[in-house]
Amino acid sequence: MKISNVLNCSFSEWYPKFRSFSFKSIVIPLPDFFLSYLHTDGVILPNSSHHGVYTKSKNLAMDGDEDDPDIRDDELMKMYESDWSTSCIQSSAEAPDFGEFDIQVKSAIKLLGGKVFPKLNWSSPKDATWIAFDKTLMCTCPSDVYLLLKSSEFIAHDLDQPFSLCEDHTNASAGQTVDYTLVLRKWEPPNPSTEFRCFVHENKLIGVCQRNGNKFYPHIKEIKEVILADISTFLHSTVTRLFPDSSYVFDVAHLKQGQILLIDFNPYGVVTDGLMFSWCELNQLAAQNQEPCFRFVESEEGIQSIDYANYSLPQDIQDLTAGEDPYKLMDLMKMKIQKEFDSDSSSDDDTIQENQGSEQVTKTDKKTNMPDDSRGSENLR
């Protein structure tokens, strides 16, 4: 994967050619001051949102929505006073004023029907839904967009190191200027059972898999030949003709027989999540001259763990599992030793429980039915 391949998957590169096959979208160039805002720590919403400090509820930050009858005054006060102890500190910081940019975002949302799905050049803030009032990426005002963008690690990756896994990436290319854009797409959530990720190597479809690996959709098995044939036709009649690279990954929704909705392009390489494939498997498929491999959840037992679930885990747990904070690990071990010491007298019971625990782990691993290397930590898209 080269820098040029990543650039070709940038939304503003592919969208003009595929406009009629995808969601209606508006691209707004990001001014430098907004990029600096995204880079700074902390979340202070602009003056225009009427709420200079970060508030937990999206509704609190919605323009002209102070009289929302769904929120009672006492609930509002509780939300304000809840666990945002830093708000006193933040309120003394200056709230930004986005002027013309804010107006552009507002009118784009209006033009797209009042509800939008936000992205930057490559990624959406899909890991930040926890911060949203309704736990989705639906935005109805500029503050919704800013809050999600500021809270996402995927967005931070787009901004800080979009080429970090490219083979031609050097320290010099790290500073390569990217024309950053805000992408607002008409809010039209596809039915997850219709979404598929498609892997293309040298213009050949090598693999297709269900986009959402944590659900079993019985209908996929029934119409798998139709799905594969429609994706293949769309690839060869449209995508290969218009997309500049020969290897890439694209996401689609199979709306009905003969009707494909294009969702996104991603680079062909480990930066892109192989979902139900490991990249090792994909490379093997690329080397073979076979029909595309179609993978989907074939039964309730084949379900994978939930995507991005780790982003909603407490930071302490994430640090522990990633081994990033040895002191937390030492504390945990001390607690464990103490617990074992305390319950020394009932060791027989403990042994049974621990055995049951390891049995469960083994079962869970088997349930995914996936090779160990199937989800690399490099996957960012």
Ligand X SMILES: Nc1ncnc2c1ncn2[C@@H]1O[C@H](COP(=O)(O)OP(=O)(O)OP(=O)(O)O)[C@@H](O)[C@H]1O
- Closest CB to ligand X among 53 and 184? 184
Asked if residue 189 binds ligand X (CB under 6 A), the reply is yes
CA-wise closest residue to 244 among 293, 203, 194, 289: 203
Tell me which stretch binds ligand X (CB under 6 A): 117-125, 159-167, 290-298, 324-332. 117-125
Applying CB under 6 A, among 10, 59, 123, 278 the residue interacting with ligand X is: 123
Tell me which stretch binds ligand X (CB under 6 A): 116-124, 235-243, 285-293, 327-335. 116-124
- Determine the size of the site formed for ligand X (CB under 6 A): 21
- DSSP readout, 125-175? -GGGGGGSTTSS--BSSHHHHHHHHHT-HHHHHHHH-TTTT-TT--HHHHT
| Torsion-angle region of 240 (φ positive above 0: left; ψ -120 to 50: alpha; else: beta) | alpha
Site residues (CB under 6 A) for ligand X, limited to 359-378: none
> How far apart are CB 381 and ligand X at their closest, in Å?
3
Applying CB under 6 A, among 190, 214, 318, 325 the residue interacting with ligand X is: 190
Residues 6+ apart with CB under 8 A from 12: 27, 121, 179, 181, 183
- Closest CB to ligand X among 114 and 326? 114
**Amino acid at residue number 82:** S
Asked if residue 251 binds ligand X (CB under 6 A), the reply is yes
Asked if residue 194 binds ligand X (CB under 6 A), the reply is no
Instruction: List the x/- string, 209-248, binding to ligand X by CB under 6 A.
Output: --x-------------------------------------
Q: In angstroms, rounded to a whole number, what is the distance separating the alpha carbons of residues 368 and 372?
A: 10
Asked if residue 187 binds ligand X (CB under 6 A), the reply is yes
- Closest CB to ligand X among 25 and 48? 25
Residues 6+ apart with CB under 8 A from 330: none
> How far apart are CB 195 and ligand X at their closest, in Å?
5
Tell me which stretch binds ligand X (CB under 6 A): 71-79, 115-123, 200-208, 278-286. 115-123
Structure tokens at 111: 């033009």
- Closest CB to ligand X among 48 and 265? 265
Asked if residue 381 binds ligand X (CB under 6 A), the reply is yes
Across the chain, which distance is largest between two alpha carbons, in Å?
Answer: 72
DSSP structural state of residue 312 = G
Asked if residue 158 binds ligand X (CB under 6 A), the reply is no
Structure tokens at 224: 């798998």
β-pair type (204-210, 259-267): unpaired
Residues 6+ apart with CB under 8 A from 231: 196, 198, 205, 208, 252, 254, 260
Q: Which residues bind ligand X (CB under 6 A)?
A: 23, 117, 119, 123-124, 126, 154, 185-190, 195, 211, 251, 263-264, 266, 273, 381
